[in-house]
Structure 1
Amino acid sequence: MDTLLYDLPALTIRQISVSEMDNNVYLLTAKATGEQVLIDAADDLPAIQHLLQDATADTSAPPRLVLIATTHQHWDHVRALKELADVTGAATAAGADDADALPVPVDRQLGHGDTLSVAGFELTAVHLRGHTPGSIAYVYEEPRGLTHIFSGDSLFPGGVGNTQKDPERFNRLLDDVTERLFGNYPDSAVVHPGHGKATTLGAERPHLEEWRARGW
């Protein structure tokens, strides 16, 4: 199976889907340095290790996983987190308001607008409240190219994430998604969700008021 999604000037983006929940796991590898960030160690450590092995072809330097970034606290997104952190020694990052619920200590507890820097690229943390208190989307802005948004379970093709039929949580999530994603990034931005297929902000933007009217 070809795991390569994007071969960009500075980095590659690879993806696999794991577990009965079809969770997406994303791996970003800096071409020049080999430093890697994995987004959501959801499940299936052997499959993740194969993904890391695939990425050895993407860099001229020895690849090294330096950071595991978690989008949110839900169990289906963290089942391999402790194992992977133990095996690799990689640091961990997550939203500050979700950190206490994770199965490992969180080295970088993130707020809105914080930056994660590795040798070769940066990710911006966008706090999206509602699906969980501390959900984070990780954004990579390709110089002179596309923006990539790793949205976890906060934004999907066709709507925002599950807020358990709680109107307050739904409105908060839709407000954050509208202001912090749609309000800040171009229609060409690619949304890489926690489950299922990718979309773009441009494909979803016309439906924002429809989502608000239906309440989910």
Structure 2
Amino acid sequence: MAYTGAVTPGGPAETRTAGGLSITKLAVDPKMSNNCYLLRCHDTGDQVLVDAAAEPDRLLALVGSDGLRAVVTTHQHWDHHRALAEVVAATGAAVVAGLPDADAITEQTGVDVTRRLVQGDTVEVGTCSLRVVAIAGHTPGSVCLVYDDPQGHPHLFTGDCLFPGGVGSTFGDAEAFAQLIGEVESKLFGTLPDDTWFYPGHGDDGRLGDERPHLAEWRERGW
């Protein structure tokens, strides 16, 4: 079945191949409908999970017997790390998060963050490398991850910073919104091409080129 990126809680995962990386998308929790992404290196079998959001049994079944190198938590909000403790206990995976959100994640989950990410860091998945883009506004320490497919277009994991139709919520905080849309515009739209496919923390995937014409509209409306 061709990859669409349209997954639903309780439904099957979808997998696509991007160069040397497999990307598997799974939705969990009918109420919050979080997306979790398992990334697997074809060369080495190394695996990294983006957001252990909920339903640890399903996530561990997805990981399988090949182990898990790391869990990247995109930001500190509770719905993105409810399965973190159980997944890490079962796999021994490293715990990775943005520096400004790391302490909050530990306080909420009881799990120590073993690596604190800043702008320009990389997260390795075997022979594949993900570039870290720090985006403040939704939370102080949100991180996005970019995989530059040498055989195709970039792939961007945005957490709750960017969705089809707008940036993430800043909960009525105008200053935070200005920061978020400014950093999304400069660090994502300002550096990545239109054919970049992005994978958000909830809902369907998107393409930067489809969203780029609406940036001024988003800024004007304030959300």
Q: Which residue of 2 aligns with 1:66?
A: 69
Shift of 1:31: 1.0
- The aligned counterpart of 1:214 is 221
1:9 aligns with 2:19: yes
- Give the 4+ runs in structure 1 shifted more than 4 A: none
Tell me, in whole angstroms, the C-alpha distance in 2 between the residues paired with 1:74 and 1:40: 11
Residues 1:149 and 1:196: Cα distance change in structure 2 (over 3 Å): same
TM-score, structure 2 normalization: 0.90
Hey, what's the Cα distance between the residues in 2 that align with 1:10 and 1:118?
10
Per the TM alignment, residue 165 of structure 1 is displaced from its structure 2 partner at its CA by 1.0
Match for 1:82 among 81, 85, 88? 85
The alignment status of 1:49 with 2:52, answered yes or no, reads no
SS at match of 2:69: strand
Distance between the aligned counterparts of 2:113 and 2:70, measured in 1? 11
Q: Structure 1 unaligned segments of length 5 or more: list them.
A: 57-62
- Asked if 1 retains the 8 angstrom alpha-carbon contact of 2:19 and 2:151, the reply is no
- CA deviation profile, 1:132-190 (whole Å, cap 9, x unmatched): 00000111111131211110000001000000111110000000000000011110001
2:28 to 12, 18, 24: 18
| Equivalent residue, structure 1, for 2:160 | 153
SS at match of 1:65: coil
- Preserved contact between residue 197 and residue 208 of structure 2 (Cα < 8 Å): yes
**Contact residue 150 and residue 192 of structure 1 kept, 8 A:** yes
Cα distance in 1 for partners of 2:196, 2:74 equals 18
Kept after mapping to 1: 8 A contact 2:40/2:125: no
SS of match in other structure, 1:97: helix
Question: Displacement of 1:87 after TM fit?
Answer: 0.7
Q: Indicate the SS of the match to 1:180.
A: helix
SS in 2 for 1:7: strand
| Residue ranges of structure 2 left out of the alignment (5+ in a row) | 1-10
Q: Tell me by how many angstroms 1:2 deviates.
A: 4.7
Q: What is the total number of aligned residue pairs between the two structures?
A: 208
Counterpart of 2:122 (choices 115, 135, 140) is: 115
1:113 shift after superposition: 1.2
Q: Please list, as runs of the form range in 1=range in 2, the aligned pairs for 1:87-98 lying within 5 A after superposition.
A: 87-98=90-101
Correspondence for 2:8 = none
Aligned match of 2:210: 203
1:37 equivalent in structure 2: 48
Give the TM-score normalised by structure 1. 0.93
Residue 158 of structure 2 aligns to a residue whose secondary structure is: strand
Deviation of 1:67 after TM superposition, in Å, equals 0.7
Cα root mean square deviation, aligned: 1.2
